[in-house]
Amino acid sequence: MAVTVIDVIGEMTPAWLDDALGLSGPEAVTSADAAPLGTGQMSDSYRVLVTHSDGSVTRLIAKLAATDPTSRATGLMLRAYEKEVRFYQELAPTLGIRTPRVYAAEIDTATGSFVLLLEDLAPAAAGDQLTGCTPRQAHAALAELVELHAPRWGDPTLRDVEWLLGDRGPARDMMIGLLPGLWDGFRERYSERVGDDVRRAGDLVFARLAAFYRDREPATIVHGDYRLDNLLFDPGNGSVAVLDWQTCTVGPGPADAAYFVGAGLLPEVRRVEEAGLFDHYHRGLVAAGVDVTRDECWEAYRRGTWAGLVMAVGASMLVERTERGDDMFMAMASRHACHALDLDAADLLDS
């Protein structure tokens, strides 16, 4: 039975939860208390404490379209909300990567309104993009990333999943036309915080967007925003679960790995740990049956260093502005720019 889509958390009544979760009798919901969760800017997330007729309690995570009109319009324009709902409905069961169990997933693609009810994995907690992570956490995150990339590596049927690709040609043309202006606005808005590395790297990539957006093979399912704020780390065993599938698409897997390493580790730590982390990721792919040489993987990884800077600029200018958001986007831009320049990745934009 389809779930009735709601727009705001206040519409998540006990009766709505009964319908969405298929509950009745002793399991029927008597109350639901929601508290805002996290700092996501494209959607609104809540931890919901659900009390049942028999006195038992269930904890859920609810995710809805952003109430901020700018963020919501962006989510609708980029089909980000549709991607996340469809990922849980169609792709998650075919992959090895750990995600929260989904109890309800529905969307109105015309308005962008959607609802996700997910398992609460507490005490697992999200990483912090501002402070970065340890090499041990990075190893765990890259091992989990193999479980996303390996199962569908080189799978030609992914090109038939319309919502995953989206309106690829028009969407790409739109971003190629839009991003140079956003780069100009980014430099103006954050003029006192944009360092020389960011200016240099930005001038390189935003002048070569057609090459940046060129399809690369072999492709697989990629997360597109694989960073600490979207990962849950279990404090007991260190395992990782992955959230926020609004940017998932088809592309080169190593770009996800570069995106994570470039922003997840402080530059001085990355420079020491990067070779070992990359080899850990590549060995994981090979062990999972992927036919890719280290050199092929490394080239795709180096090319992928540009994605984080493009994301930081585009997202910062297209979603609701917050103080923490500004800090996060500045950290991302600085670390990703430094990463691309450290690995001499400019030549790969045109190759």
- pLDDT, tens digit, 9 for 90 and up, residues 29-38: 999 999 998 7
Q: Is the peptide bond before 218 cis (omega within 30 degrees of 0)?
A: yes
Residue 60: enclosing H or E segment and its boundaries?
strand 57-65
pLDDT at 280: 98
Q: What is the mean pLDDT of residues 235-260?
A: 95
Q: For the chain, which domains are there?
A: 9-119 (3.30.200.20), 125-349 (3.90.1200)
Contact between 81 and 114 under an 8 Å Cβ cutoff? The reply is yes
Query: Side chain identity at 162, as an amino acid letter?
Result: E
Cβ neighbours for 145, distance < 8 A, ≥ 6 positions apart: 97, 223, 226, 253, 256, 257, 260, 281
Smallest CA-to-CA distance from 133 within 306, 277, 36 is with 277
pLDDT at 40: 66
205 phi, psi to nearest 5 deg: -80, -35
Q: Which residues is 250 bridged to in the sheet? A: 221
The C-alpha atoms of residue 319 and residue 108 are separated, in whole angstroms, by 21
Contact between 6 and 16 under an 8 Å Cβ cutoff? The reply is yes
pLDDT digits (tens, 9 = 90+) for 151-187: 999 999 998 999 998 767 787 888 999 999 999 999 9
> Which of 113-127, 270-284, 289-303, 317-331 is the least confident region?
317-331
Please say if the pLDDT value at position 132 is more than 70. yes
pLDDT at 18: 95
Please say if the pLDDT value at position 247 is more than 70. yes
Q: What is the mean pLDDT of residues 63-83?
A: 91
3-state secondary structure of 23: coil
The C-alpha atoms of residue 224 and residue 244 are separated, in whole angstroms, by 10
> Which of 78-82, 214-218, 288-292 is the least confident region?
214-218
pTM of the model: 0.92
Q: Is the peptide bond before 36 cis (omega within 30 degrees of 0)?
A: no
The C-alpha atoms of residue 180 and residue 147 are separated, in whole angstroms, by 35
Smallest CA-to-CA distance from 317 within 188, 226, 214, 203 is with 188
The C-alpha atoms of residue 312 and residue 317 are separated, in whole angstroms, by 9
CA atoms within 13 Å, Cβ hemisphere of 143:
11
Please say if the pLDDT value at position 222 is more than 70. yes
157 phi, psi to nearest 5 deg: -70, -15
